[in-house]
């Protein structure tokens, strides 16, 4: 279990140590409370982010303590984000849930420390961009609009790919469990594995597919909802063939090479589909029967990827996701890795995507100058 110090505790420790190290009877607290003792005005200006006056050793040390506290908070936030991204930590606080939401949607988000010293997060499209000039703000917002569309395409492709992979591995999974190579899972969505393994063990035909949520499901083929889509004559023929299999298998187990009677509509000789079904049933390979709606010929097929993957899933819905700039290519990499990120402007004025490391969070949130020197000054340290 991962143990991480809550960011609120780090913030509290930082403010506490900052206050503990100050002379509560001196000019600092007089100034913070609005009194006019200006003996420590240089320190107050330094704490509030003002420049223009030489810094004393005390003010430099004070600023180092503030920077160290901020760094600790951002380091803790970055660590929590990393664990959330890896699935090792369930988001609990509001800011973690916002980052998690943005990550799952493929959108940029920003993390910052508010005036109370608490970590907060926002979708970057809703965040304050006043640290940038108007041209930079416009470039950032333009990219965010393009990212929203691109993210939807990337995630649609990812969903499609995950569905294809589920179907591709289903038959082998059932085969391995039915033959005792793998252990049966306690439960699966729709209990598909339990159903599929039971049918395979009994040698019964089954259909494996995806439900409307993209989860695997398995049906005794007699109750497959897709049967309703067949013309009535072919549906009847298919049901007769399924019903015939168990008596066929009993004859084949006894060494019979043909039937002694004439069960209509089949003759004494076993059809190829019956022999194929028998071989797969004995090997505990999940299979199903298919009737050709043109020729009426029945065949036995494995629930393999090629056979059970619908045609519409075999091609990604968006071959071109629109990552036609360097910035969008960077973002696409983060989205494909399901990794949280934000946008920034580099030293050349170009929009770039950055992951949420301690350094990147700290640099993005460097303090801005403020004219407040009253009671809000101590809080502005965490703005």
Q: What is the pLDDT along the chain (383 residues), one digit of tens a residue?
A: 455 555 544 444 444 444 344 444 444 334 333 444 444 555 445 444 455 555 678 778 877 887 788 899 999 999 999 999 999 999 999 999 999 999 999 999 999 999 888 999 999 999 999 999 999 999 999 999 999 999 999 999 999 999 999 999 999 999 999 999 999 998 899 899 999 999 999 999 999 999 999 999 999 999 999 999 999 999 999 999 999 999 899 999 998 877 765 554 556 778 899 999 999 999 999 999 999 989 999 999 999 999 999 999 999 999 999 999 999 999 999 999 999 999 999 999 999 999 999 999 999 998 543 333 333 333 334 44
Tokens of 172: 């082998």
**For residues 321-332, b (16+ Cβ closer than 10 Å) or e, as one string?**
bebeeebbebbb
* Contact partners, residue 318, CB within 8 Å, separation at least 6: 153, 154, 156, 157
∠ at Cα 91 (88, 93), nearest 5°? Answer: 145
Answer positive or negative: Cα dihedral of 93, 94, 96, 100: positive
Q: Is the pTM of this model over 0.75?
A: no
């Amino acid at each position: 279990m991962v143990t991480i110090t809550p960011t609120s505790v780090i913030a509290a420790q930082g403010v506490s140590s900052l206050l503990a190290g100050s002379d509560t009877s001196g000019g600092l607290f007089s100034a913070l409370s609005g009194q006019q003792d200006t003996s420590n005005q240089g320190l107050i200006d330094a704490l509030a982010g003002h420049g223009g006056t030489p810094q004393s050793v005390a003010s430099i040390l004070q600023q180092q303590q503030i920077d160290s506290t901020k760094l600790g908070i951002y380091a803790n936030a970055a660590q929590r984000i990393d664990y959330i991204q890896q699935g090792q930590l369930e988001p609990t606080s509001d800011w973690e849930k916002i980052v998690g939401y943005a990550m799952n949607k493929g959108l940029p988000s920003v993390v910052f420390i508010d005036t109370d010293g608490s970590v907060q997060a926002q979708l970057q499209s809703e965040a304050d961009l006043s640290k940038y000039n108007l041209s930079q703000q416009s470039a950032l917002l333009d990219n965010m609009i393009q990212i929203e569309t691109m993210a939807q395409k990337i995630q649609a492709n990812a969903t499609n790919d995950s569905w294809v992979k589920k179907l591709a591995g289903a038959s082998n999974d059932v085969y391995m469990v039915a033959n005792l190579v793998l252990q049966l899972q306690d439960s699966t969505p729709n209990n598909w594995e339990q159903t599929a393994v039971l049918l395979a063990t009994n040698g019964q035909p089954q259909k494996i597919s995806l439900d409307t949520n993209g989860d695997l499901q398995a049906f005794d083929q007699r109750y497959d909802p897709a049967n309703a889509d067949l013309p009535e004559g072919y549906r009847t023929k298919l049901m007769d063939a399924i019903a015939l299999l168990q008596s066929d298998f009993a004859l084949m187990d006894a060494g019979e090479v043909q039937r002694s009677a004439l069960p209509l509509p089949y003759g004494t000789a076993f059809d190829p589909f019956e022999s194929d079904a028998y071989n797969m049933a004995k090997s505990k390979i999940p299979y199903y029967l298919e009737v050709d709606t043109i020729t009426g010929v029945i065949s036995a097929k494995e629930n393999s990827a090629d056979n059970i993957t619908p045609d519409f899933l075999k091609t990604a819905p968006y071959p071109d996701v629109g990552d036609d700039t360097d910035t969008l290519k960077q973002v696409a990499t983060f989205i494909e890795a399901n990794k949280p990120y934000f946008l920034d402007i580099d030293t050349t004025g170009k929009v770039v995507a950055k992951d949420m490391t301690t350094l990147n969070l700290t640099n993005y949130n460097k303090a801005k100058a403020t004219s407040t020197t009253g009671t809000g000054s101590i809080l502005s340290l965490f703005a």
